Amino acid sequence: MSTVPTPAVDGDDDDAPFAPPRLRWLRKHPTLVTGALLLVLIALASLAAPWLATHDPQDLDPLARMQPPSAEHWFGTDALGRDVYSRAVWGGRISLVVGLSVAVLATLVGTLIGLVAGFVRGADAWIMRIMDGLMAIPGILLAIALMAVTRASLTTVIVAITVPEVPRVARLVRSLALTLREQLFVEAAHAVGTRLPTILLRHVLPNTVAPLVVQATFVAAAAVLAEAVLSFLGVGVPPQVPSWGNMMAEGRNFVAVAFHVILYPGLLLAATVLAINLLGDGLRDALDPRLARQL
Amino acid sequence: MGYLLRRLAATLPVMAVVAVVVFLLIHLSPGDPAALIAGDLATADDIARLRVALGLDQPLWRQFGLWLGRLASGDLGTSIFTQVPVRELLAQRIEPTLSIAVLTMALTVAVAVPLGTLAAWRAGSWIDRAVMLFAVLAFSVPVFLVGYLLIFAFAVHWPWFPVQGYTRIADDPAAWLRGLVLPCINLALVYIALITRMTRATVLEVLHEDYIRTARAKGLGVLPVLGHALRNAAVPIATTVGVGIALLIGGVVVTETVFAIPGVGRLVVESVQRHDYPVIQSVLLISAAVYVLINLLIDLSYRLFDPRIVY
């Protein structure tokens, strides 16, 4: 980096000229680093749940119901006398699995649909009308309705949350594909007789990765919240599963006497979603400054 | 006029897709829809009777045709659980939901647009950082957690507002408003975060335009300059308000549950537990129609903000 004082465009260009390049990049994106660190911490804690938990998450103790936090029960106990801390540690797994699965599924399906819409003339109008229709139904309502026609399980929850997210990804990919289609390198590949699947795989897809990764993080954040909302409304994963949403749903009737039952899972959930959102914001600024304007 | 017709026509395929999705919903389930509706305690006889009563023994396309025909004449079907026409059921529940939605919307625009403009004007300052921090936090904390915190603080600890419940506006307008303060603040937070971010981003962009620099150079005060900027940023902001309606409708379901308000949102959740599909279908259909209609109106209002737009 030059030592001549140049007017910094973004204001954060060269504040650490002597740091190694990689570290400097990290320092330039504090949001990304904060989000990633927080998320890794939460993921590690969830993976280590068997060792971190102080009690069996399903163990009932009728004599110690709705106890406030203490040395024995760090986050107190719930209405059935179960240890809130241990359940909360295990519950993180459900949220993370849902977030990750929905992000991956919605991105895969949405990308496929978006690419077809962007490259197959004739299919575009039809596909996008269907996507518009799906987007007109508020996502949470669609997920609730889908849960109403299936038996509650982790898989159905993941599918129910994925369906409303697919059109958003498809729309993004389609708009990227429409721009890329007109690019010289795609036209050139087409002109030398490269087949469409190869063009899509080798020339188009790599150019959609950055915005897709950003979009996927926001889908993951929305999915973690949606899982909690579905459970809270009583239409999420089966009640015996210790998910943060279920814990809060069970605590709903005892808010006045045992607020801690809702508070701790709620705070953990908020921290997780915040971590993913920060990661997404950071990635967006780092990978694609043009996207930064579009929320 | 031509634009209006074309824009109206464009909503038809969208609503057609919504209708197909909503209709197919109960046929998507892996099992027999009649058995699903009848519930776990039904006998084989019950299921068979229900299948005939609901027309589920007819071919699919014929069921769809009959259903569409009834919709066209304004018949949303009959609730399986309460045996009351869905239209009546919705009419009983619409007032609280509409009250929350309208007040939340007003509150959101009143708070978010000035807040976003302020953040853009003071971009990079601590005000801007605080606003952006609030926005990312509001996106991350579950609506119901905030709801209970609000109840805890402003209804239990300081008993300024009722804990839960709803008073009809005709019974007591003052109590109606008091009861809606906490639910609306609760629901508005996410929406405020969304609109504030969008306002900040678009106003910030407009503030870099040449005409803004000219306006400032000729000595125009801060407020008129921001007024210019806001007017030019109005179209994207209005678009976000429209798209955010989906968020609002989804949020109403949660807020009504937290504050025990007997609105359409509660009705949906109750109907899911009762396997009352005609009600669920109707609510889905109507919310989608509301979403499409509001976005249509917003599209048509662009000209008010920006006279350069000619249809």
All residues of chain B having their beta carbon less than 8 Å from the beta carbon of residue A133 are 13-18, 20-21, 288
Nearest CB to B26: which of A149, A229, A267?
A149
Question: Which CATH number do you get for residue B257?
Answer: 1.10.3720.10
pLDDT at A10: 45
Q: Report the residue of A218, A233, A261 to disrupt the B interface, i.e. the one with the largest count of B CBs within 10 Å.
A: A233
Is there a single domain that holds both residue B56 and residue B193? no
| Beta-carbon separation of B249 and A278 below 8 A | no
Q: Which of residues 137-166 of B touch A (CB under 8 A)?
A: 137, 139-145, 148, 151-152, 156
Predicted TM-score (pTM) of this structure: 0.86
Structure tokens belonging to residue A137: 């139904």
Please count the structural domains in chain B: 2
- How close, in Å, is residue B215 to chain A by CA atoms? 24
Q: What topology is assigned to A42-294 in CATH?
A: MetI-like fold (1.10.3720)
**Cα B259 to Cα A132, A139, A261, A285, B144, distances in angstroms:** 32, 21, 18, 38, 9
Residues 6+ apart with CB under 8 A from A135: A164, A167, A168, A171, B246
Is there a single domain that holds both residue B113 and residue B61? no
| Beta-carbon separation of B36 and A259 below 8 A | no
Contacts across the A-B interface (CB distance below 8 Å): 155
Is there a single domain that holds both residue B167 and residue B270? yes
Arithmetic mean of pLDDT, B198-208: 88
Q: Which of B308, B299, B121 is nearest to B203 (CA)?
A: B121
pLDDT at A289: 59
Q: Report the residue of B21, B37, B133 to disrupt the A interface, i.e. the one with the largest count of A CBs within 10 Å.
A: B21
| Residue position matching structure tokens 């647009």 | B113
| Beta-carbon separation of A137 and B284 below 8 A | yes
* Cβ neighbours, 10 Å, residue B6: 10
All residues of chain A having their beta carbon less than 8 Å from the beta carbon of residue B124 are 11
Alpha helices, DSSP H only, in B208-276? 210-217, 222-258, 264-273
Nearest residue in A to B152, CA atom: A256
The residue from B72, B105, B130 where one domain ends is B72
Is there a single domain that holds both residue B56 and residue B118? no
* Cβ neighbours, 10 Å, residue B181: 17
pLDDT at A260: 79
For residue A166, is pLDDT > 90?
yes
Q: Which of B281, B48, B155, B266 is nearest to A234 (CA)?
A: B266
Is there a single domain that holds both residue B125 and residue B221? yes
**Overall residue count recorded for chain B in this entry:** 311
Structure tokens belonging to residue B10: 């464009």
Is there a single domain that holds both residue B144 and residue B276? yes
**Cα dihedral across residues B72, B75, B78, B82: positive or negative:** positive
Is there a single domain that holds both residue B281 and residue B192? yes
| Beta-carbon separation of A141 and B284 below 8 A | yes
A141 versus A67: which is more confidently predicted? A141
Is there a single domain that holds both residue B203 and residue B115? yes
ipTM of the complex: 0.87
Q: Counting Cβ atoms within 10 Å, is residue A226 exposed (0-12), middle (13-18) or buried (19+)?
A: buried
Q: Which tens digit of pLDDT belongs to each residue from B215-274?
A: 888 888 888 888 888 888 888 888 888 888 888 888 999 999 999 999 999 999 998 888
Q: Residue A4: how many CA atoms within 13 Å on its side-chain side?
A: 1
User: CA A276, CA A36: separation in Å to the nearest integer?
Assistant: 8
Is there a single domain that holds both residue B36 and residue B165? no
Is there a single domain that holds both residue B214 and residue B123? yes
| Beta-carbon separation of A232 and B18 below 8 A | no
Residues 6+ apart with CB under 8 A from A204: A115, A119, A177, A180, A181, A186
Structure tokens belonging to residue B124: 């990079």
Question: Band of the pLDDT at B181, cuts 50, 70, 90?
Answer: very high
User: CA B28, CA A78: separation in Å to the nearest integer?
Assistant: 37
The answer to the question of residue B80 being in a domain is no
Q: Which of B72, B80, B73 is nearest to B19 (CA)?
A: B72
| Residue position matching structure tokens 């903000």 | B305
Nearest CB to A138: which of B240, B246, B277?
B246
The answer to the question of residue B82 being in a domain is no
Is there a single domain that holds both residue B292 and residue B143? yes
Please check whether residue B30 touches A, CB under 8 A: yes
Q: Note down the domain range covering B185.
A: 93-305
- Residue A177 in contact with residue A117, Cβ under 8 Å? yes
Residues 6+ apart with CB under 8 A from A155: none
All residues of chain A having their beta carbon less than 8 Å from the beta carbon of residue B268 are 141, 144
Q: Which of B60, B76, B105, B83 is nearest to B289 (CA)?
A: B76
Structure tokens belonging to residue B100: 């929350």
Please check whether residue B24 touches A, CB under 8 A: no
Is there a single domain that holds both residue B242 and residue B167? yes
| Beta-carbon separation of B201 and A293 below 8 A | yes
